[in-house]
Structure formats: structure tokens, C-alpha cells
A and B are shown apart, each in its own frame.
Chain A
Amino acid sequence: MLKRALIYGKFRTNGIYGSFENGTRWSRLMSMYPPHYAEPIFKKDSQNMEKYELAKLSHVPIKAALNSSSDTIFNAELKQKMLAYIVKCGNSRLARELLTKTFEQIKRAQIERKHLVKQDNGHAICIDAEKLLIQAIENSRPLLQLSSIKRGGVKYQVPVPLTSKKSYFYAMKWILDAAKEKDRKISLSSKLAWEILDAAHGQGRVIKKKNDLHRLCENNRAYAHYRWS
């Protein structure tokens, strides 16, 4: 089990949301496609890169590309995922607008900062909101989680390693929850921008929450063996 945890730890560096084409994506149990169907490669640059592999694919049936998978500059996988978490009541149009405004405000804030510190090193400041979002999510991903396990009539809070997918989920959920905890007059976009900027710089409530969880796990590491015994 420890080994498994280690493996998960290793996995984390790749990231499950990395790409469709290297096949690390979880396949659904109730898929409409038989397992030998290949994933579609919808990104143009990756089509060019894997010319020799394309020859291999020429006789393999390929799944239809998803509606959301398009090769545009507006499309990024983690961004889409975040968007899906923001959506309420199926109003994805509003969610998209909110995230766009968030990005706009991040950019405005960063550009303002860039102009402030232009004299010494203005180039160090990243303005790309999408990169900042990814950085914020990566920064706030938890490693471990506490799960209550009953042994001998007593419940123990046992630290359990998280899967890569779940850790991404928690990171995004925490960021969004932190953004939703706000005054009624502030719009979600501005608060979200703030939280993302904070998390991207390794500060803020989300990072604190993650660290708190890690500390709790560390404190309870004596119970770790309850996971398997």
C-alpha cells in the first residue's frame, strides 16, 4: 500500500489532465466504445509530432472527438475543468463569462504590477492568466487526506494518500469555495481572481487550508497503519 502511495506520488508530477493522446485518461466503465477504440487526437501540433504513430493508427477505429475538444487558443483542459466546476444549474454561459472576467481582472492586476516594478525586473511577472490558474491549482493540490476508519470500536482519523484526479478536484473546489465566501456586493469573478493570484503565489486561504490538512495528517501519522491492518 505504501508502494501504491508512492506510485501515486510519482504520478502526480505528470498530471492526469495532461493529455488525451498518451492514454492516461480514465476510461469510463460504461463506454459506448469497445476498449480497442483509440482516443482522437484533435490538437493539430500533436498530429504533426506523431507522424510515425499516425501510421499505426491508420487501421484502428477511433472515437469521435467530444464537442468540447477543439483546437483553439481559448481551449485548455484544466480551464475547461474549472469551468465545469463553476457552472450552476447548467448555466455554462454565465460560467464562461465569469471565468473570462476573472482572467481579465487577473491580467489587469498583473499588468498594473508589472508597470509598478518595471524599473528592476518587470519581466519576472507572469501575465498569462491561464498559466497563473494552472499554477494556483498545482500549488493548492493536497497530497493526503484524512479518512475515518473504525478499529476496535474507536474511530481513527487515518491519513490516506489521494489519487491525482481527486487532488485536482480538491484544489479546484477549495479555490472556488474560497471565492464564493464573499460579500454579496463583490462579484465572483473579482474574488476568484484574487484567490487565484494568491494561490499562484503560494499564499492565501486555499494554501493555508492545504497546509492545515497536511499538518493534521502529519500529526495522525501514527494511525497510518490502520489503513491496511
Chain B
Amino acid sequence: MKMFRKHVGSISRISTQLQRGPPTVGSIAGLSTEAEAAPKQERVDEKITEFRTAITNPGGHSPLQIAKFYTIPAEEKKRIFGGGGLPKQYELQIKTFTEACLMVRSPALELLQYIKQADLSKPVVRYVLYGENGVGKSLTMAHVLHYGALHDFLLVHVPWAPNWMKRPKETANATGQEGFIDLPFDAAAWLVHFKTQNAQLLQKLQLKTSKDYVWSKRESTPTGSLLTELVEHGIARIKYASETIAAVISELKQLSTAGQCKVMVAIDGFNAFFHPETRIFSDNKQRVTPDRITLTQPFLNITNYDWTNGVCILSVDKIAMTEGYMESYMPRYLLGKDGFEHLDPFVPVHVDNYTDKEFTNYISYYVDRFWITKTAPDLEDQLKFMSNKNPYTLMQLVRGL
């Protein structure tokens, strides 16, 4: 990929020179776009009002803005989604379109409404996003996450939980618990992600730890030290990163129950925690179950109902499972018996394919961003038919157009 970027860079350099130099034979300079350039620009400007909304704060979104795009400011995007959270393809799209736009869709609005009207003194409500492959569960979550980041929620965000079960960077035997597997690098990466997402808020709130944490003979975190110090320690001492996560999360639970902060938990691919097995092998060459991974416990702990002043947004996904466990996208099937019992009672939120209006707006957005340059009278109908209005399929179809 890096190679390619280099290539592309060189191409663009060559061609910019070309543009400045005398027009060569067979140059594509005058390929039809020139003639209709001026009227097209006007038309694009008109359309902006149709499918875009100027409200960049998700808190201000209402059903009026449904099927419209709002832009996430670059620095906010970098802060919230710097460590993941947006699908890879979407990141690429953002890079190409030079703006991070999200469509306001009804599942996200529904969630936002629940969160706004929630009684935070009650135990946390778990919201479970479910839906077919590629309908926009992760992006719905991203929308809500953006809301949380802007409204003083401490974000406990796992961009894609199955990564820990499927392709961990490094595994080690846990020191504290016998028979458990530690993922020190992934744990540290998550701590970094947590820190970047919540740096400002942690600075403001000055949260303190409630008990002593003794890591080894020489290292310990005393009572009353800042939560950031705890996190910093975990990042610096990768060996204790997993334990630090457990500590941070239990602290967060206590602090939020005490009313010192609000916490928003967002875990994408939550059902990976209840998958029958992982791809990690233990010392005796046997596959480890997810509950034997030290990272699982804190996140199961924080999705429990025994704390207040927070919300849990979880998504269950077919892709989080492996072959043989992907028959249905329904939450009970994906979570399994244990997962269901763990979450019950939860609020299932169904994410569906585009509606007609959303589809039309998305096509106009693509046209606006020059991603679709073809003009056929029945282009939209054809795409609608081919993609079944599924967002991901549409993306795949349109890329080669």
C-alpha cells in the first residue's frame, strides 16, 4: 500500500507537470468535462443543501436531518477515531473525499434519543446493534461515539474486539492468573487509544484512584493518584497493560457510580467475547476460549448492569464469528446462551439497509465527490437493484464504476 501511495504520488507529480506544459497528443485534458464544467459546479452547489446538514454536533440531530450527511471536523475525527473505529474502507473513502462525512440514519438517532432521555441514576442500559453484514453497524456506533465525545462521556471504546481473538499481536502467559493468556501489545494499544480519546476530559475531571495497585516489588500506584497516571503506567510497562486495563475499568465503574463522571462503553463485535474458541494456542497446543484471555474480563465487567451513570453500546456481528457460527445475524444466536444471559435485559437496535431516500442521497454524495462520474438515466435504479440498497455492497459496486 505504501508502495502504491508512492506510485500515485509520482503519477500526480508527473501529470501536474504535464498540465503546465504544452498539451500533448492524446492527453485527456479536454475529455468532455471541460465543456460542461461551469454549469456542473452550480448544480453541485444546489445539491449541497439537499443532502448535507450544517449541524456537526450529533446532539443537534433530529429526524429532520435523517438521510443527510454531517461532517466530523478533522481534529475531532483524529481524536476519536485515531486508534480505529471506522472501517478500513471508510477510512480510505474519507481520505479520498478529503472530508469525514457520516450519514444521519435512524438507528443512530434512535440510540441518541435513548441516551439523551436516559435516567443515568439507573443501572446502565445495554444497547445492542445488530444487522446483516455491511449495513452500517460500526458507523452507527461511530455516530453515537461522536456524540459521547462531545457531551463529556468518558469513552471506553473497543474498535473491533475480534482482533484480540483472531489476530493478536503477541501472546504471553498471564502472570497474575494461572492458565490465562495475556495480550500485552493489544492491551497497551487499547490504553493508548483510551488515552487519546479521553485526554481532555481526564485532564478536566482529575479522577483519582480509590485503592493501591501493586504491580511488583518496586512499582505500585498509590491511592489517590490520577487515573491518567495509571494509564500512563500501563502504556509504559507493557507487561502490566492487561492488569492496568482491569484496574482502569473497575475504577471507572466506581467513579461513575459515585457520580464523578459519565462513561460511554462502545464495543464493536462484542459477540467475539462469547465465541466458542479463539485462534490463540495455549502452552499445551490447545485453542484457548475467550474467557481465558485476561482482556475479556474487564470488558465483560463493564458491560454488566451493576453500575450507573453510563451507557453501553455494543454491536453483534456475523464477521466477528468464524466459519460455522455465522448462520444468522440475530443477537441471541450470535451471543449464544452465556452472552445473552450476560446482557439480558438489553435493547436490541436493528440496523437495516438504506431506505430509498438514504440511497438517493448517498448516490448524490458520491456524484458530488466525483466518485461516480458516469451519467446514465437509470444509474440509480441499476445500482439499487444490484446492491439491494446494502451500503457495503453499494460501496463495492461503485468503486469500479
Contacts and interface: CB of A to CB of B under 8 A. Distances in A.
Direct contact of A and B (CB under 8 A): yes
Interface of A: 72-74, 99-101, 103-105, 107-109, 111-117, 121, 123-132, 135, 138-139, 183, 185-187, 190-191, 194, 197-198, 200-203
Contact of A126 (B28, B98, B401): B28
B25 interface: yes
Interface in B355-401: 369-371, 373-374, 376, 379, 382-383, 397, 399-401
Main secondary structure of the interface of B (DSSP, over half): helix
A186 B4 contact: yes
A171 to B, nearest CB: 12
Interface stretch (B15-23, B45-53, B77-85, B128-136): B15-23
A138 B399 CA distance: 24
Given A103-B400, A128-B374, A190-B7, A117 B28 contact: no
B33 A123 contact: yes
The 6 closest A-B pairs by CB, nearest first: A100-B400, A123-B37, A139-B26, A104-B399, A190-B4, A128-B373
A185 B3 contact: yes
B25 A127 contact: no
Contacts of A190: 3-4, 7
A134 to B, nearest CB: 10
B30 A124 contact: yes
Nearest to A114: B370
Nearest to A120: B19
Contacts, number: 117
A138 B26 CA distance: 8
Contacts of A135: 26, 28, 31
B34 A124 contact: yes
Given A74-B400, A117-B16, 15 more contacts: A99-B400, A107-B399, A111-B96, A111-B371, A113-B11, A113-B15, A116-B16, A117-B19, A124-B19, A126-B28, A129-B400, A185-B3, A186-B4, A187-B4, A201-B26
A108 B11 CA distance: 12
30 contacts: A73-B374, A73-B376, A73-B401, A100-B399, A100-B400, A103-B399, A104-B399, A107-B399, A108-B96, A111-B97, A111-B369, A113-B12, A113-B15, A114-B370, A116-B16, A117-B16, A123-B33, A124-B29, A128-B373, A128-B374, A129-B401, A131-B28, A187-B4, A190-B4, A197-B11, A201-B14, A201-B15, A201-B28, A202-B25, A203-B18
B359 to A, nearest CB: 16
B117 interface: no
B32 to A, nearest CB: 8
Contacts of A183: 3
Contacts of A103: 399-401
A73 B4 contact: no
A187 B4 CA distance: 9
Nearest to A115: B98
Contact of B370 (A72, A127, A191, A203): A127
A139 B27 CA distance: 9
Contacts of A185: 3
Nearest to A189: B4
B18 to A, nearest CB: 6
Contacts of A125: 28, 33
B213 to A, nearest CB: 45
